[in-house]
């Protein structure tokens, strides 16, 4: 169906492409560790000089939350997916992809999976190990249920982020250049997704907006499971499923409409 088995070729290709730049990997790990240590030192300083509870949340939980959110940036789909599609549209090579027996969305997703595998093995795991080795990162007890829920929640957030980035890529049919839209999306992700600081700390007004936005489903929801922070929505995973459904259907129609409208620019 949809040529998923054929999509495997894209998966393998993107994994191999990433493998070519092995030197980069160590520097990226270094970058990730720097990001983690900034948050570590910041929150350690805050923890030492204030009470251990902020708005009823333990500083250690917040520290874990922000550290993991900095690491998620490396694997959540974003730039890569957007330019995968927008480059094809701008250059006109999308005409070739449309002839292929793989649905364009499947190939984009498989391409992203390849990077996910690569980045998890070569960037995420080493960064976490190094951070644990050099910084004394707090450990909190997470039971197996929470961990499984995190897995499920992360999978959903991954797919939602993929759908949104894909959609921005499709926008390039109308805008030409989508750099600006992407910048805008990332800003919203920072504010309402809680990728900088947990949404639970926001003033009520901003919390309300964040709750009803799709952005919190991407960062906030999965991270709450592993950092013991309350996710003040009743059924966070159900909400994620809804957003995923909404964005998938939107994309489905948008892509169909866009392609009918597309005039391939010669290639």
Partner 1 sequence: MKRYMTLYYHYVKLAFKSLFVYRMDFLIGSFGFILSTGALFFSLFILFNYVEEIGGWTYWEVVFLFAYTSLARAIWDTFMFNMMSLSTKVIDGSFDLYLTRPISALFQLLFEKIDPDTIGELLFSFFLTFVCLYKFEILFDVKMSLLFCGFLFSSVLAFSAIHLVVNALSFWIMETRTVNFIIWRLDELIQYPISIYPKWLQKILILIPFAFCGYFPVSLLINAEHSLYVYMTLIAGPVAFCVALLVWNQGMRKYQSTGS
Cα angle 60, 63, 68; round to 5: 130
CB nearer to partner 1: pick between 110 and 229: 229
Q: Does 30 bind partner 1 (CB under 8 A)?
A: yes
CB nearer to partner 1: pick between 111 and 202: 202
Check if the beta carbon of residue 219 is closer than 8 Å to that of residue 157: yes
Cα angle 169, 84, 7; round to 5: 120
Crossing angle between the packed helical segments 59-72 and 125-134, to the nearest 10 degrees: 150
Q: Does 17 bind partner 1 (CB under 8 A)?
A: no
CB nearer to partner 1: pick between 44 and 231: 44
Please give the Cα distance from 159 to 244 (Å, whole number): 7
CB nearer to partner 1: pick between 55 and 143: 55
> H/E element holding 233?
none
Which of 68, 246, 47 shows the shortest CA–CA distance to 142? 68
* Dihedral sign (CA 69, 71, 72, 78): positive
Size of the site for partner 1 (CB under 8 A): 40
The region of 41-49, 122-130, 143-151, 211-219 touching partner 1 under the rule CB under 8 A is: 41-49
| Chosen residue from 140, 196, 238, 242 binding partner 1 by CB under 8 A | 196
| Chosen residue from 7, 11, 14, 35 binding partner 1 by CB under 8 A | 35
Q: Does 186 bind partner 1 (CB under 8 A)?
A: yes
Residue ranges in contact with partner 1 by CB under 8 A: 23-24, 27-28, 30-31, 34-35, 37-38, 41-42, 44-46, 49-50, 54-55, 175-188, 190-191, 196-197, 201-203
């Amino acid at each position: 169906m949809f040529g998923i088995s054929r999509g495997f070729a894209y998966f393998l290709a993107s994994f191999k492409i990433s493998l070519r730049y092995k030197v980069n990997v160590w520097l990226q790990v270094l970058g990730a560790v720097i990001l983690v240590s900034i948050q570590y030192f910041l929150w350690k300083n805050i923890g030492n000089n204030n009470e251990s509870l902020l708005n009823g949340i333990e500083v250690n939980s917040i520290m874990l939350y922000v550290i993991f959110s900095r690491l998620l940036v490396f694997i959540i789909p974003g730039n890569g997916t957007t330019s995968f599609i927008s480059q094809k549209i701008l250059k006109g090579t999308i005409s070739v992809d449309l002839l292929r027996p793989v649905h364009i969305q499947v190939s984009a997703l498989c391409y992203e999976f390849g990077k996910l595998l690569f980045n998890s093995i070569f960037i995420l795991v080493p960064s976490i190990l190094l951070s644990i080795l050099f910084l004394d990162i707090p450990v909190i007890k997470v039971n197996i249920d929470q961990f499984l829920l995190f897995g499920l929640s992360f999978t959903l957030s991954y797919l939602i982020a993929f759908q949104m980035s894909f959609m921005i890529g499709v926008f390039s049919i109308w805008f030409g250049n989508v750099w600006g839209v992407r910048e805008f999306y990332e800003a919203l992700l920072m504010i309402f997704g809680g990728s900088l600081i947990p949404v639970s700390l926001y003033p009520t007004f901003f919390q309300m907006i964040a709750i009803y936005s799709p952005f919190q489903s991407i960062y906030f929801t999965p991270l709450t499971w592993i950092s013991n922070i309350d996710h003040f929505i009743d059924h966070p995973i159900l909400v994620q499923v809804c957003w995923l459904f909404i964005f998938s259907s939107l994309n489905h129609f948008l892509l169909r409409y866009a392609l009918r409208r597309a005039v391939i620019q010669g290639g």
